[in-house]
Structure 1
């Protein structure tokens, strides 16, 4: 098929590249001339495992193209995917200005029947609004509008796209449903379902899925907070409940909160939609409130450990800046909040991340930049620091055993926001190790050195 993808952000670039790799002719559109030039030159502007290989192959085989001219891409397209940003406003409402602007332009570009697909995460009722906007300039017989939410995990997006657990298609049109089913059938040969439903249910499905996962994460963080108060170990609790098939093992790891481009935005958006329709979504009130406090909970542990909130004269190492491993995305990353809070309290930082240093620098405050040294080797973030803070669970942080910290750190004190290390190993390694929802390991020799 001929496919146009409007928007080359994370979802648009991954979707367009994967569709091209499966044999379609794909043209991606973006208004950013510099970005389009970069893409045409064969450079991938985001870090996503596996993406570069299929990107290169699709360009080499002339199936993936980039342009700033939307009409050029849309005129011959069988399907047009809208992969546009829908950032949250101050009240949590998703900003649809980019989606509606493009919808208003599409009508005049359609010459043959075309399926218009909302791939962006959008509020319930957006398909109706897009349909109305296009119909102002085009015969309604020339197009159908479909909701097709993405369920891509950053760090595993290519795998998720190529082997989806399910494909959700929201449309009341049999013709559009047949075209979309034909497009996705190569991706579900193992038998995973293509679920066709109405547009509004499809739109709500994406929000409901992310809100449910965010709630599950937040629940375990609450359990972790209780564990710290009663002397329990959240790892044991996780194993105890995760074997219940009704609950499952995934998204039960305690930490310093969720971040990224999806969970925070989608929780806010479904909460806003509920309020606009006269419903008080009390669970999500709590989810958002708890997650905000959880992001800086590690700073509260540091204040308790040092007995002060004045960190003047102290230098802390930070491992991990991205909101999760295997991505350079720092949107709503806990590290942003932890760094800002510590610098406010007088600390200096030495920070390392395998992929996200550049994106972190562009997103953080000038105050943090002025008080942070960024290094490109994780060992360099251990030199002459008072403690190490772990904000992201990159696999390479697991590979050094806890035994090496005592030799490489001035003060082997670790505040671990992702529970990377075994408590017994930490105890035997002679370090002070404070994590989330687990008993703290306080080593007497380290404490004596700290007092001196």
Structure 2
């Protein structure tokens, strides 16, 4: 199939590369010439394992990038993968997504009478926001051709373009650090559309991925599909905060939370995943999606108490990490190492990283902060240019009075003798990645 993907950020780039790998002809559209150039050269604009290999394989063949939307008119379907950033009140800003939808509508206004156009929202938007994007799409159609006339003939061909143009939703469930594998072996595929022909087209798109495999396909309407996405992330975020709340209690009781939750996870009604307590969740999905769901609820008069508590517990964890450090050393004027700057291992994404409030708390205490991360240093340098950055974890630890482990990169588990170079070997572990051993003062956040 011929596919266009509007937006070449994290989701759009992964989508484009994986669809090309599945055998489709893909055109990636982005307004940034540097991103377009990188994609055409086979390089990803983000750090994501396996993505560069796919781009190198298909760039210039089944995948090409451009700043022009002209290819939309010749596509079987067009994905909108535009960012929907959070507003100050936690809601989402769909202005950029709506603008892209309008541009796509303008291009699709030239469809022939026997053609249908399918536009698919891949961006994460709240159910009420879908109507806003749909309106922008058809405003673009009106701008492009003034095609408001024509009678529907009842079969979706000929007549009014509105009868031949469908807006669907197909939310993503990708984990950063394993997005390529998640796309190629999904837990589920959710297709949201009110049109049978659009559903058929989407199912054909995913045929190469589901062929011969038992992958559940959820077929529903556009709004329900997006609510599934939000509910999915809210459930996972709440599970993490529950594990953290219980972990905090375990710490106070002198009990190892990891031993407790390992046993809890054996209950098949609960499962073992997302029960690792620690410094909290971050990234672009859980915080943004939970906040958006809370804001959308408030807009219709419902205040979601459990989701509010999920956020409150998550926001408290970095301060608890700092309080454990305070109990061992006064950091004012002293060097403190922050190990891990990305919000999780396997990515260079620092959005909502728990390292951000940790660094802020250290600076408020007057510490001289030195950070280290295998891939996210330059991104964090843009956020905190005033702190020092080390080339290795060992360099960060040298002469430090304390070390805070914020991201569970595997390399931190093998530091061993590097702790001997600290001025005072106080290690506060927020991810249970360091082993207790002789010669260091070790504190686990919830164990």
Same fold (TM over 0.5): yes
1:130 and 1:346 map into 2 onto residues whose CA distance is 47
Q: CA deviation at 1:278?
A: 1.7
Which of 314, 325, 331 is matched with 2:334 structurally?
314
Q: Does 1:233 align with 2:232?
A: no
Which of 423, 429, 432 is matched with 2:441 structurally?
432
Which of 165, 168, 172 is matched with 2:190 structurally?
168
What per-residue deviation string (whole Å, max 9, x for no partner) do you get for residues 31-88 of structure 1? 112222232233222110011111100115x111111112x22121111000001011
2:357 is aligned to 337
2:180 is aligned to 158
For structure 2, list consecutive stretches of 5 or more residues without a partner in the other structure.
Answer: 148-160
Which of 194, 202, 213 is matched with 1:180 structurally?
202
What per-residue deviation string (whole Å, max 9, x for no partner) do you get for residues 193-234 of structure 1? 111011111010111000110000001111111111111110
Correspondence list, 1:6-85, <5 A: 6-59=6-59, 62-70=61-69, 72-85=70-83
* Kept after mapping to 2: 8 A contact 1:115/1:144: yes
1:449 is aligned to none
2:258 and 2:242 map into 1 onto residues whose CA distance is 14
2:84 is aligned to 86
1:48 and 1:329 map into 2 onto residues whose CA distance is 10
1:52 and 1:29 map into 2 onto residues whose CA distance is 18
* Kept after mapping to 1: 8 A contact 2:335/2:370: yes
Aligned length: 422
Which of 272, 279, 284 is matched with 1:261 structurally?
284
* Kept after mapping to 2: 8 A contact 1:414/1:432: yes
Q: CA deviation at 1:405?
A: 4.5
* Kept after mapping to 1: 8 A contact 2:282/2:351: yes
- What SS does structure 2 have at the residue aligned with 1:75? helix
2:215 is aligned to 192
1:24 and 1:420 map into 2 onto residues whose CA distance is 41
Correspondence list, 1:227-306, <5 A: 227-306=250-329
Q: Does 1:141 align with 2:144?
A: no
Q: CA deviation at 1:408?
A: 3.3
Q: Does 1:411 align with 2:427?
A: no
The worse-fitting range, judged by mean Cα deviation, of 47-56 and 28-37 is 28-37
When residues 406 and 156 of structure 1 are mapped into structure 2, their CA distance, relative to the original with a 3 A threshold, is closer
2:19 and 2:66 map into 1 onto residues whose CA distance is 17
* Kept after mapping to 1: 8 A contact 2:394/2:418: no
1:146 and 1:215 map into 2 onto residues whose CA distance is 28
2:130 and 2:310 map into 1 onto residues whose CA distance is 28
Correspondence list, 1:367-386, <5 A: 369-370=385-386, 372-386=387-401
The worse-fitting range, judged by mean Cα deviation, of 348-357 and 405-414 is 405-414
Q: CA deviation at 1:406?
A: 4.8
- What SS does structure 2 have at the residue aligned with 1:5? strand
1:120 is aligned to 123
Q: Does 1:361 align with 2:387?
A: no
